[in-house]
Structure 1
Amino acid sequence: MKTANEPKQRKLPLEILGIGLGIIWLIPFYLMLTNAFKTPDGIFANVMALPDSLVWSNFVVAFQELEFLKSLFNSVMITSVSIAIIVIFSSMAAYALARNKSRLSTTLLFVFVAAMLVPFQAVMIPLTTMFGQVNMMNGAGLIFMYLGFGCSLAIFLYHGALSSIPVSLDEAATIDGANRFQMFWFVIFPLLKPITVTIAILNVIWIWNDYLLPSLMLGQDNATIPLKMFYFFGQYTTQWHLALAGLTIAVIPVIIGYFFAQKQIIKGVSEGAVK
């Protein structure tokens, strides 16, 4: 006969495993926070130990050296504009491919899917050369590159979501007098909100943390936070106390953004999972 404690006993190993994984996941944050308040000597003396005293000047110097407000503005602008363009153009392209059944649309979809397999490093030098010839080694050129590299996965995901939306909705909108753009923007696109949230999350993580592509396209005047962080890592020495303080400062906007958008993010992801 089963006792009331048996289900709890069965869940105990999973709970222990979850706690252990949670601790492992939090270790990098512990190291970042504790060592951000130390002197260089304190870091090299014992990385895992708590700081003897809180060195707040690390954050002041890191904030100034990063030109944090300026680099934060650059990161937010490039990320937000890139996400908006990827979502708009990819959703429209996927809609056109999903609603026009032909060999050409199938071939184009295959080309977009195949493009995901091409690594950026393989086309890095030719692309930067071409963009340099047309004077687009700037933020606009970087956003255009993000559209090219991000649209393949976005179109693939949107195309899969559109296959579950019946064509009868298009026909009903046409009967009501809507043109093709109105049909897509006011009828179809709102139904794509769950997959839009997923695409936005994936691309925000990629674009916000990207270093290689901005390092090739941007100068110091419009550098993003990852580019500015490289200032603390020299050829012969690394200013770990300032680097970790800078990382702590850089994480704050992400946490604040997630705090305000968590409801929409969780809702969108859960709706996408249900569908």
Structure 2
Amino acid sequence: MKTDDTRMKHAPFWTVFFSLISLVWIFPVVLVLINSFKQKAYISRNPFLIPSGKSFVGIENYTRGIERTNFIASFGWTLFITVGAVALILICTSMCAWWIVRVNNRTAKTLYTLFLLNMIIPFQMIMFPLSKIANSLKLNTPWGMWVLYLRFGAGLSVFMFTGVIKGIPSEIEEAAMIDGASVTRTFLAIVMPMMKPSIVSVAILQTMWIWNDFLLPYLTLDLRKYKTISIAVQYLKGGYGSVDMGAMMACLVLAIVPIIIFYLLCQKHIIAGVTAGAVKG
């Protein structure tokens, strides 16, 4: 009882403390949103003031940013790359993790170790050979990017999925196979639904990474034909270091909004997964 009373006394302090920390994280996003409605001169002069009067330009920055960056096409290619790459990562790595856990022989353990090493090797060490290989194999296209992102996203995904699958009783799968279910149907109808919270968690992590990624598309994509949002925004820079800050802020807002919506829609699944794991434990 004393422990519970102590926790209740400290609860208001921790609430205020973490609320202040959350404001620190939210503040840059709010700052970008505010400045997306200002004239360029006022963004540099008074970046923290609310737009009003002469500084307020309405949606002028948004229209100019969309026109100068060909934002609609860039948004489409970014969405195409992100959805395809995340889907490929989820399907391939979840099946691979299931095989590693259920087979559990020397080959499976070696493969699992290689996936872990995949997370250790920094991207900077292989980015130039990767760019040359991507060009040689004609992977410098949006659909070729799916394969490249699978290579980089497989390590973390397999690591997370193997931990989840180890907690799924194998007797459930054996019962399904005894009833006549094939290996594919057992995985799709039995295993994957039980992995739903972890699949959503991995999907959110991979989506946020791929959607916002700049370096890999910049090094591998044929920029004469395809540009992602992060690359298109860079074209708002003019000569002699000049930058159209208003249009850039507007494009950044348009790029952030889909990710925020996606996270809010999937948040309940993450909470459900954490709660289920706590009850099982």
Query: Normalising by the residue count of structure 1, what TM-score does the alignment of the two structures yield?
Result: 0.90
The residue number in structure 1 matching 2:258 is: 253
Question: Contact (CA 8 Å) 1:85, 1:147: kept in 2 or not?
Answer: yes
The residue number in structure 1 matching 2:57 is: 55
1:231 maps to 2:238? no
Measured against aligned partners, the alpha-carbon deviations of 1:135-165 in whole angstroms (never above 9, x if no partner) come to 2211122110000111111111111111111
In the alignment, the residues of structure 2 paired with residue 160 and residue 262 of structure 1 have an alpha-carbon distance, to the nearest angstrom, of: 21
Q: Which moved more, 1:48-57 or 1:263-272?
A: 263-272
1:114 partner SS? helix
Question: Contact (CA 8 Å) 2:69, 2:236: kept in 1 or not?
Answer: no
| Match of residue 196, structure 1, among 195, 199, 202 | 199
Question: Contact (CA 8 Å) 1:87, 1:196: kept in 2 or not?
Answer: yes
| Match of residue 206, structure 1, among 206, 209, 234 | 209
Q: CA deviation at 1:190?
A: 1.3
Gap regions ≥5 residues in structure 1: none
In the alignment, the residues of structure 2 paired with residue 263 and residue 15 of structure 1 have an alpha-carbon distance, to the nearest angstrom, of: 21
Aligned positions, number: 272
| Match of residue 161, structure 2, among 128, 145, 158 | 158
Q: Which moved more, 1:151-160 or 1:20-29?
A: 20-29
Question: Contact (CA 8 Å) 1:233, 1:239: kept in 2 or not?
Answer: yes
Q: CA 1:66 to 1:268, structure 2 compared with 1: closer, same or farther past 3 Å?
A: farther
Q: CA 1:8 to 1:175, structure 2 compared with 1: closer, same or farther past 3 Å?
A: closer
The residue number in structure 1 matching 2:107 is: 104
In the alignment, the residues of structure 1 paired with residue 79 and residue 213 of structure 2 have an alpha-carbon distance, to the nearest angstrom, of: 13
Question: Contact (CA 8 Å) 1:161, 1:192: kept in 2 or not?
Answer: yes
Q: CA deviation at 1:192?
A: 1.0
Q: CA deviation at 1:26?
A: 2.6
Question: Contact (CA 8 Å) 1:194, 1:272: kept in 2 or not?
Answer: no
In the alignment, the residues of structure 2 paired with residue 32 and residue 101 of structure 1 have an alpha-carbon distance, to the nearest angstrom, of: 49
Question: Contact (CA 8 Å) 1:195, 1:272: kept in 2 or not?
Answer: no
In the alignment, the residues of structure 2 paired with residue 260 and residue 13 of structure 1 have an alpha-carbon distance, to the nearest angstrom, of: 30
The residue number in structure 1 matching 2:16 is: 16
Q: CA 1:257 to 1:111, structure 2 compared with 1: closer, same or farther past 3 Å?
A: closer
In the alignment, the residues of structure 2 paired with residue 273 and residue 149 of structure 1 have an alpha-carbon distance, to the nearest angstrom, of: 30
In the alignment, the residues of structure 2 paired with residue 7 and residue 82 of structure 1 have an alpha-carbon distance, to the nearest angstrom, of: 44
User: How much identity, in percent, do the aligned residues show?
Assistant: 33
Question: Contact (CA 8 Å) 1:40, 1:241: kept in 2 or not?
Answer: yes
Q: CA 1:96 to 1:211, structure 2 compared with 1: closer, same or farther past 3 Å?
A: same
In the alignment, the residues of structure 2 paired with residue 168 and residue 71 of structure 1 have an alpha-carbon distance, to the nearest angstrom, of: 48
Q: Which moved more, 1:135-144 or 1:14-23?
A: 14-23
In the alignment, the residues of structure 1 paired with residue 190 and residue 276 of structure 2 have an alpha-carbon distance, to the nearest angstrom, of: 18
The residue number in structure 2 matching 1:77 is: 80
Residues 82-231 of structure 1 correspond to what in structure 2 (within 5 A)?
Answer: 82-218=85-221, 219-231=223-235
2:218 partner SS? helix
Question: Contact (CA 8 Å) 1:31, 1:48: kept in 2 or not?
Answer: yes
1:48 partner SS? coil
Q: CA deviation at 1:199?
A: 0.8
In the alignment, the residues of structure 1 paired with residue 196 and residue 224 of structure 2 have an alpha-carbon distance, to the nearest angstrom, of: 36
Gap regions ≥5 residues in structure 2: none
Question: Contact (CA 8 Å) 2:100, 2:112: kept in 1 or not?
Answer: yes
